[in-house]
Structure 1
Amino acid sequence: MNPPAHEFVPFRPLPLPDAELRYAHGPGSHPHQGVPTGEIFAFDIEDSRIYPGTTRRIWVHNSADHDARTAAPVMIFNDGWWYLDPNGEVRAGIVLDNLIAQERLPGVVSVFVDPGVFPDRPDAKNRNAEYDADDARYADFLQQEVLPRVAARRMLTDDPGQIGICGGSSGGNAAFTAAWRRPDFVRRVIAFNSSFAQMPGGNPYPARIANEERRPLRVFLHAAHRDLHWNEPEENWFAESLETAAALLRRGYDLRLVVGDGGHSPNHGGVLLPDALSWLWR
């Protein structure tokens, strides 16, 4: 009997510890001839009850092979257009088209949600108030105000095990908090470069994960070695991500942790997205 074949990765020297280091996007992040392109439509929410006074745009990526008669799994992306932009660092629409064509991902309906803004205020952005909050409001907003408007046009699942959420920086906080607070709604999480350290009162998750009831979550965490305050004793964004990951591992969560070089940037998370989604939906 022949031994199983293994894929070997060529040796590469470790990069210099440079916060400006960049990773190159792989083939999964580039468009390819013959890959069907998903349909994208958009709408605005200007009458939120949970975040009154805010407006925002939502984009919906519908996979090319979606069967309108079947309730589709759902993938939510925070920082909507920033993640969908085909010329940006993440390029999620391109990634989704490639993965679905390769059958590495089911035919998800993906919902890209911009953070709210107050159009009549000088301090218009509501992003940190929504994403860093230590409560269930953002998950409630997604479930009660966003997905019903998508479901009016596309049949969606209500199985929490078939709903995922992705975000980076404070959007990573929002993704993890939504699943932690509302595992009855969403259970698959991708969090890139989370800013757990800047949540009100600091990162609550190592203690909560250790002491609270275990949630049925699957979590992909990414951390950058040169994230903010990486070598300082307080508000160390890199250390807080590692401590959250360690707490999840000690409790036996379904976790994938990837640590990269570079600083607080969407670059590495964007490069990782094809593999992160494949792992999350395996």
Structure 2
Amino acid sequence: MRKSWMTLATALLLCFCLHSPATFAQGPKRAGPPTRSFDAPGAPAFIRLDGKPGMNPAPDADGNFLIGPEYLAAPEQQVVAGIPQGKVQQFTIDSRETKLFNPGIARKVFGVVDPQNPKTLIVETHEIDYSRQITVYIPAQYKPGSEAPFMVVHDGPKGKPDLTLPRILDNLIAQKRVPAMIVIMIANGGGDAQGHERGKEYDTMSGLFAEYIETEVLPRVEKECNVKLTKDPDGRAAMGSSSGGSAALIMAWYRPDLYHRVLTTSGTFVNQQWPFDSQTPDGAWGFHDKIIPESPTKPLRIFLAVGDRDNFNPNVMRDGMHNWVEANHRMAKVLKAKGYHYQYLFCQNSGHGVRNAKAQFLPHALEWVWHGYGDQKNE
């Protein structure tokens, strides 16, 4: 009897697992992005640093570099005794108190490809109010009343601050490898991609988000944190990952009077702009396709990094403009052709966001982006 009961219980449990909503919700396991080889057709020529864990290019070198597949976390992430430590402050901005990006937008479902235009989606959105957290790092070396260089970081924390970047900067500033800069980490407005506030802010090909930061965020930072921020575009940088990376370049490209330095990881230089704009029909894919090649060279310094397993067609669009690796390869080639100061890292054994590689190269990337900033650095 005991054996029969156990057999029945096992069968009932198996039946429940097979028919439970959670099981149905999982569906078939989605295949991950393919690995793209560094020497595949269409890839730029790389200077090989692979097989040397912990090794990054020179901090003043331009060009294309291959790193990985193993990485060593940078020692600059650690708190070092005797190194002055900056402070971190936070405050929030209510969208209802701003002129731009008020109200925000959100969607309930992803959307479908527009049958009249395969380059865009039909998405139903609704208006939202939202709160945006601002996290500000102020170095110990900041002199009250002075105008400081600064860096805007997209996708800032929405809760407790991650102190990794502040700790790295404590060390880099003390070693005089970067200027004593203020860092402004700005949370996005919510959601992701087409039809959400984050997508509207980050993927729109215009200077509107740079204008929002200039008029709505920076004055509040100066007031809330009792600091002054430089107006010199050479003393301003923008940094971001994924769509935050495309946002960093978009800000500097459309407003070079405001920003000259750009740091991107897994930059979304693909066709993700929404709503559709006939002036930039390919979204950020247009940067490497026509915009940069056909425009005068701008005074920008641009860092790029992407993983060999980075995104490839992650949604319903199959327009030939949703391969993150190809997009970043193309960016490197057009930047070189136009004579830009750029450094491009192709990270083996790394996916979207290149987290394992970024743990190694972020201090280096910050130093490279700020290379050449004035003779007065850290004086």
Same fold (TM over 0.5): yes
Query: What's the CA shift for 1:133?
Result: 1.3
1:178 and 2:254 are equivalent in the alignment:
no
C-alpha offsets along residues 51-99 of structure 1, whole Å, 9 cap, x if unaligned? Answer: 113320001100011111321001111111289513xxxx211111111
- 1:72 is aligned to 148
- 2:235 is aligned to 162
Say which SS state the counterpart of residue 145 (structure 2) adopts: coil
Unaligned runs of 5+ in 2: 1-48, 54-68, 104-129, 274-281, 372-379
TM-score (norm 2): 0.64
Moved over 6 A (4+): none
Aligned pair count?
A: 258
**2:286 counterpart (198, 204, 212):** 204
Provide closer, same or farther for how the CA distance between residues 199 and 148 of structure 1 changes in structure 2, counting only shifts above 3 A.
same
Unaligned runs of 5+ in 1: 1-8, 14-20
Percent pairwise identity: 31
Say which SS state the counterpart of residue 225 (structure 1) adopts: strand
Cα distance between partner residues in 2 of 1:12 and 1:275: 15
Contact 2:241 2:265 (8 Å CA) reproduced: yes
Cα distance between partner residues in 2 of 1:219 and 1:41: 28
Which of the two has greater strand per residue? 2
Provide closer, same or farther for how the CA distance between residues 69 and 163 of structure 1 changes in structure 2, counting only shifts above 3 A.
same
Cα distance between partner residues in 1 of 2:354 and 2:133: 21
Provide closer, same or farther for how the CA distance between residues 281 and 85 of structure 1 changes in structure 2, counting only shifts above 3 A.
same
Within-5 A mapping of 1:1-282:
12=52, 23-46=71-94, 47-53=97-103, 54-81=130-157, 85-86=162-163, 91-117=164-190, 126-152=197-223, 153-200=226-273, 201-202=282-283, 203-206=285-288, 207-229=290-312, 234-261=321-348, 262-267=350-355, 268-282=357-371
User: Which structure would you say has the larger Rg?
Assistant: 2
Query: What's the CA shift for 1:25?
Result: 1.5
Cα distance between partner residues in 2 of 1:84 and 1:237: 28
Query: What's the CA shift for 1:213?
Result: 2.1
Query: What's the CA shift for 1:271?
Result: 3.0
Segment drifting more, 59-68 vs 261-270: 261-270
Provide closer, same or farther for how the CA distance between residues 59 and 234 of structure 1 changes in structure 2, counting only shifts above 3 A.
closer
Say which SS state the counterpart of residue 185 (structure 2) adopts: strand
Query: What's the CA shift for 1:125?
Result: 5.5
Letter in 2 for 1:80: G
Cα distance between partner residues in 1 of 2:50 and 2:264: 28
Cα distance between partner residues in 2 of 1:254 and 1:147: 27
TM-score (norm 1): 0.84
C-alpha offsets along residues 226-277 of structure 1, whole Å, 9 cap, x if unaligned? Answer: 11129x9652110101101111110101111111021113412343210011
Cα distance between partner residues in 1 of 2:362 and 2:332: 18
Say which SS state the counterpart of residue 214 (structure 1) adopts: coil
Cα distance between partner residues in 1 of 2:77 and 2:292: 33
Provide closer, same or farther for how the CA distance between residues 199 and 109 of structure 1 changes in structure 2, counting only shifts above 3 A.
same
